[in-house]
A and B are shown apart, each in its own frame.
Chain A
Amino acid sequence: MPTLEDDTLVFRFSEIDKDASFSIDFQRTLRIPDTDKTYSLPPGLGSFPLRHAEDFASNLPSQTSERGGVILPMWQAEAMWLHFRNDGPGYDLYFPVAIKIAAGKINAVTGETWRPGLHRAPQDYMVSPDQPWLDGFAIEKGVIRQFVAMPLGAGYSVEEQLTSESEWGGIQISITPLKKHVWKEKRAAWEKQRSLRLKRERICYLPSKSSMKMGLAAGGRMRQKIYPDTFNLGDWDQASAQRVFVTLVHAKDWKKITGDAAPNEPPTAKEYSAAGLPWFEYYGKDREALPGGEKFGAIKSVVKIFTTLTGALLPNSQDIETGVPHAVGPGSKGARPVRTSGSWDQ
C-alpha cells in the first residue's frame, strides 16, 4: 500500500527489492497563458499539502471518504505538475515503474476512459525514471495542455467534456513495478558494471459539500514529450500495482475541512516572468515521443470555455515573454529545480 510522507505519496515494493520505491509529489506552478503559443516548462513552486481523506471524513462528502486516498487543495484556475522520483540501490540505478495517471478517470496520456492494467496501442502509461514529470494532458506529439483546476460541474473539466458527466474529478494514480526476475536481471547487470564506472547524476533539488470538489481542465500548451516504454509489456508485474485516488478540493474550503490554513494563491506567469525568473526546457535522451491522445482533439481549453460562458477573457491569459529557457534533464546539465523549503501557508 502507498504511504503519505511529508506531502509525498510513496510506493514501496519491498517484496520485489527492499530498495525498490517510487514517489510522487504535486508541484504548485504558474498557469501558463492559454493561447496558440506553446510554452516552455514553468518552475515548481513547492508541493501542495496532502492529507488522508479518512481523517476528515465528517467534513467531506461521503463519496469522497468512500474513495479513500488523499485530499489536496487547489485554487480555481491554479495549475499543477506531477513530480516523479524513483529510488533504487544506487544513485545510477533506479527502480523503474509504469505510471498511469488519469484526471476524472480520463487517462492523461490517451484520453481514454480509465481501465485497470497497462495497455499498448496506444500506450496508456508512462515509464519513470525516463519520464520525470507530467504537466498536463498529452494532446499531441511533444505537446501537453497544462493541468488547471476548475470547479467540478461547471463544464470545464476534461472529464465533463468527454463524458458529459462530473462524477469523479480529482486525479487517479496507478503504479506498477517491474516483475521480480526482470528487475533482478537489471540489477545484476548493474552490479557487474558497478566497479567499472563511477558516475553520479547530480540532482539539484535545489459552500455546499458538492461544490468543494475540483476537476482538471485543459490549460495552455506546453512542450513535453511522453516517452514510449522500452520494456516489454510482460515485464511489468501488474498484479502488484498500487493505486491512489487524489480528491481535489477548493482551497477556499481547506481550512474548514482540515483546520489548516490554505496555501496562498501562486504568482501569475506574468509576475514571474517580469521578475526575470527562469523557464525550463527538458532535454531528454534522444527519443521519439508518443503521439498524444486522439480524443483530446475535441477538448476546449479553460479560456475558450470561460469566454463562451461569460463573454470575457479569463484574467492573466495574454501571452508573455519567457526569454531563453534553461536546459534541464539528462541531455543537459541539471534537473528541473523544485523548491523544497519554505511555506505557502498564510
Chain B
Amino acid sequence: MVPAMLNPIDITLNATYIGNMQRTDRYTHNEAFGENIRKLREQRMGSDQTFSLRQVAARCGVTPAYLSRVERGDVAPPGEDTLIKLAHELGEDPDVMLAQAGKISADLRSAILARPQLFAELIRAIKSMPDHAVLRIVRDVRDGNW
C-alpha cells in the first residue's frame, strides 16, 4: 500500500513530465501555464483572426475575462473539460496540456487509483527511459492465423 501521507496522484504527478514548471511554486506555475496558452493562441491568431481571446473563450465555453486571467496567470489553470477544449482549439495534445496544468485526466486518475503502487513504480521505472524504449512497452497487437 502507498503510505497514508502520500497521495498517489501526487506521486504520479511528481514523476510525470510536466515541462519545466515547478509544481511547488504555484504562482510561477500559473504564470508559466498562462504565458504558454497566450503564446499558442497568438501564434494561431497570426494567420487566423478567429483566434482572438473573445472567440477562443466562446468556443471553449468560458468568458473572455476568465481566459484573460488564465493567460495572465492570475488564476489557476482551468478544469479538465476546459483544458481539453483549449488543447483541441490550440492544436495541442490534451494530455500534454493537462500535465502542463499540473493535472491528469480523469481516466488516467482512475487507472492509477485502481493500482496506485503498481503505477507509481512503473512511472518511476520508466521516467528516464528514452521515448523509443517507452514506446516498446506499448504492446503490439499479435497477428494470428486467418
B48 within 8 A of A: yes
Chain A, range 321-346, C-beta contacts under 8 Å to B: 340-341
Return the CB mask of B54-85 against A: 1 if under 8 Å, else 0: 00000000000000000000000000010011
Q: B141 contacts which of A52, A200, A204, A341 (Cβ < 8 Å)?
A: A52
Q: Are A205 and B88 in contact (CB under 8 A)?
A: yes
The number of chain A residues with a CB under 8 A from chain B is 31
The residue of chain B having its C-beta at the shortest distance from the C-beta of A3 within the complex is B138
A4 to B140, alpha carbons, bound, how many Å? 7
B47 within 8 A of A: yes
A70 to B91, alpha carbons, bound, how many Å? 30
B143 within 8 A of A: yes
Q: Which of A34-42, A61-69, A213-221 contacts the other chain?
A: A61-69
A48 within 8 A of B: no
- Chain B residues with CB under 8 A of A53: 142, 144
Return the CB mask of A227-251 against B: 1 if under 8 Å, else 0: 0000000000000000111000000
Q: Are B88 and A206 in contact (CB under 8 A)?
A: yes
B42: min CB distance to chain A, Å: 14
Q: Are B88 and A68 in contact (CB under 8 A)?
A: no
A198 within 8 A of B: yes
Q: B143 contacts which of A65, A68, A206, A340 (Cβ < 8 Å)?
A: A68
A9 within 8 A of B: yes
- Chain B residues with CB under 8 A of A172: 146
- Chain B residues with CB under 8 A of A168: 146
Q: Are B138 and A2 in contact (CB under 8 A)?
A: no
A74: min CB distance to chain B, Å: 19
Kindly name the residue among B46, B81, B84, B139 whose own CB sees the greatest number of chain A CB atoms within 10 A: B139
Size class of B's contact patch? 10 to 19
A154 within 8 A of B: no
Q: A69 contacts which of B48, B91, B141 (Cβ < 8 Å)?
A: B141
B44 within 8 A of A: yes
A291: min CB distance to chain B, Å: 28
The residue of chain A having its C-beta at the shortest distance from the C-beta of B143 within the complex is A68
B145 within 8 A of A: yes
- Chain A residues with CB under 8 A of B141: 1-4, 9, 52, 68-70, 244
B99: min CB distance to chain A, Å: 16
A9 to B91, alpha carbons, bound, how many Å? 22
Q: Are B47 and A200 in contact (CB under 8 A)?
A: yes
Q: Are B144 and A198 in contact (CB under 8 A)?
A: no
Q: Are A3 and B139 in contact (CB under 8 A)?
A: yes
Q: Are A1 and B88 in contact (CB under 8 A)?
A: no
A54 within 8 A of B: yes
A2 to B144, alpha carbons, bound, how many Å? 13
A333: min CB distance to chain B, Å: 11
The residue of chain B having its C-beta at the shortest distance from the C-beta of A69 within the complex is B141
Kindly name the residue among A2, A3, A105, A172 whose own CB sees the greatest number of chain B CB atoms within 10 A: A3
B142: min CB distance to chain A, Å: 4
- Chain A residues with CB under 8 A of B88: 203-206
Q: B139 contacts which of A4, A66, A200 (Cβ < 8 Å)?
A: A4
Kindly name the residue among B44, B81, B142 whose own CB sees the greatest number of chain A CB atoms within 10 A: B142
Q: Are B143 and A243 in contact (CB under 8 A)?
A: yes
Q: Are B143 and A244 in contact (CB under 8 A)?
A: yes
A219: min CB distance to chain B, Å: 25
Kindly name the residue among B85, B88, B142, B146 whose own CB sees the greatest number of chain A CB atoms within 10 A: B146
Q: Which B residues contact A (CB, under 8 angstroms)?
A: 44, 46-48, 81, 84-85, 88, 91, 138-146
Q: Known A-B contacts: A54-B142, A203-B88, A245-B143. Give 5 more (CB < 8 A).
A: A3-B141, A9-B141, A65-B144, A68-B145, A198-B47
Give 30 CB contacts A-B under 8 Å. Answer: A1-B140, A1-B141, A1-B143, A4-B139, A5-B138, A52-B139, A53-B144, A54-B142, A65-B144, A66-B145, A67-B145, A68-B142, A68-B143, A69-B141, A69-B142, A91-B91, A105-B146, A198-B46, A198-B47, A199-B47, A200-B48, A203-B88, A204-B88, A205-B88, A206-B85, A244-B143, A245-B144, A245-B146, A341-B81, A341-B84
